[in-house]
């Protein structure tokens, strides 16, 4: 806990323990050591009272108005980051590869898009064709074969990979430069959901280095379970960092849904 900057490093298990305490439920035996860690860090006292410094985060996690999830898949595996927006507070959280803890930091509404863009390392595209609009179409099974071939450990030119798995040559060329894939998902419960569930918006992007950014248009996000199979169409479009910034902004619901009237008044 960094009280001076209101920062906290927590695992999912730490958050679970805090949830049990707020709900006044018994903590399972397998989480008792996790509770001890929270006590040692000064986030809980001997009677399991939550530190006043931590309470704004806990209140936001328990009753979020909007949840942003950022999933990034790269050479070091998958990381999970994002943001949680409550009535009075916004917190971002970031995860490092191989680290169970995430760092939770308070944020202001005006910085939310910037924070999400930084989590996926959105940066200016210096290549000449950064906004060319080029489109590649294939299938999900072909995509999987290209990736599996490239991950097999034997270096091959993209053209050779494409021939070996019967894939479009351009698909292999682009994936040969792949740095990472990332998905940003927004979920909230608002007037448009009519109390029946969550509204969800998402986008998936390939960061392909010198080949630039590619937006996956098909399969379209958000994807529900069993909606995509091997025969599903894959379509990706070359895009620019500027367009992606606007698309991240457009994932958010109206500003009025991000904060209560009390929060808006406090910010003013």
pLDDT of 179-198, one tens digit each?
Answer: 999 999 999 976 655 555 78
The pLDDT of residue 234: 98
The pLDDT of residue 92: 98
Cis bond leading into 219, ω under 30°?
A: yes
pLDDT band at 257 (very low <50, low <70, confident <90, very high): low
The pLDDT of residue 152: 87
For residues 6 and 259, the model is more confident at 6
CA-derived radius of gyration, the chain: 21
- Listed in sequence order, the residues at least 6 apart from 208 whose beta carbon sits closer than 8 Å to its beta carbon are 174, 175, 177, 178, 179, 214
pLDDT band at 264 (very low <50, low <70, confident <90, very high): very low
Q: Which contiguous run of DSSP H or E holds residue 85?
A: strand 77-85
Would you say residue 96 has pLDDT above 90? Answer: yes
Distance (Å) of CA 215 to CA 54, 135, 151, 159, 205: 38, 9, 22, 22, 5
Domain ranges of the chain: 8-122+258-267
The pLDDT of residue 73: 96
**CA pair distance 93, 104, nearest whole angstrom:** 4
Would you say residue 259 has pLDDT above 80? Answer: no
pLDDT band at 130 (very low <50, low <70, confident <90, very high): low
pLDDT band at 124 (very low <50, low <70, confident <90, very high): confident
Which residues, in sequence order, are bridge partners of residue 103?
9, 94
The pLDDT of residue 194: 57
Mean pLDDT of all residues in the chain? 90
CA dihedral sign of residues 80, 82, 85, 91: positive
The pLDDT of residue 190: 66
- Listed in sequence order, the residues at least 6 apart from 210 whose beta carbon sits closer than 8 Å to its beta carbon are 127, 177
**CA pair distance 223, 236, nearest whole angstrom:** 16
Instruction: Annotate 41-81 with three-state secondary structure.
Output: CCCECCCCCECCCCHHHHHHHHCCCEEEEEEEEECCEEEEE
Identify which of 263, 150, 123, 89 has the alpha carbon closest to the alpha carbon of residue 207.
123
Cis bond leading into 222, ω under 30°?
A: yes
* Neighbouring C-beta atoms of residue 108, cutoff 10 Å: 11
pTM: 0.89
Q: What value does the mean pLDDT take over residues 112-133?
A: 84
The pLDDT of residue 170: 97
Q: Which two tokens stand for residue 142?
A: 């072909």
The pLDDT of residue 196: 55
CA dihedral sign of residues 105, 109, 114, 117: positive
For residues 261 and 244, the model is more confident at 244
Q: 217-243 pLDDT, tens per residue?
A: 999 999 988 889 999 999 999 999 999
**CA pair distance 146, 171, nearest whole angstrom:** 8
Q: What value does the mean pLDDT take over residues 32-54?
A: 95
The pLDDT of residue 262: 36
**CA pair distance 47, 26, nearest whole angstrom:** 13
């Amino acid at each position: 806990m960094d009280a001076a900057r209101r920062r906290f490093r927590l695992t999912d298990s730490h958050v679970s323990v805090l949830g049990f305490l707020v709900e006044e439920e018994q903590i399972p035996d397998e989480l008792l050591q996790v509770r001890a860690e929270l006590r040692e860090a000064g986030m809980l006292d001997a009677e399991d009272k939550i530190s006043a410094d931590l309470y704004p985060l806990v209140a936001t996690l328990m009753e979020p108005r909007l949840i942003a999830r950022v999933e990034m898949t790269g050479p070091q595996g998958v990381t999970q980051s994002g943001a949680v927006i409550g009535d009075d507070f916004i917190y971002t959280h970031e995860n490092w590869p191989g680290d169970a803890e995430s760092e939770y930091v308070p944020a202001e509404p005006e910085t939310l898009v910037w924070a999400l863009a930084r989590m996926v390392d959105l940066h200016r595209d210096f290549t000449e064709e950064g906004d060319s609009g080029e489109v590649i179409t294939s299938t999900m099974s072909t995509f999987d074969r290209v990736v599996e071939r490239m991950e097999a450990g034997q270096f091959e030119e993209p053209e050779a990979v494409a021939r070996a798995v019967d894939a479009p040559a351009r698909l292999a060329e682009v994936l040969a430069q792949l740095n990472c894939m990332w998905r940003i998902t927004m979920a909230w419960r608002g007037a448009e959901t009519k109390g029946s569930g969550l509204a969800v918006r998402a986008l998936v992007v390939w960061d392909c280095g010198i080949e630039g950014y590619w937006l996956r248009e098909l399969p379209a996000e958000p994807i529900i379970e069993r909606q995509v199979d091997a025969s599903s169409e894959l379509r990706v479009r070359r895009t620019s960092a500027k367009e992606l910034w606007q698309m991240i902004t457009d994932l958010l619901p109206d500003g009025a849904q991000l904060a209560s009237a009390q929060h808006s008044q406090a910010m003013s």
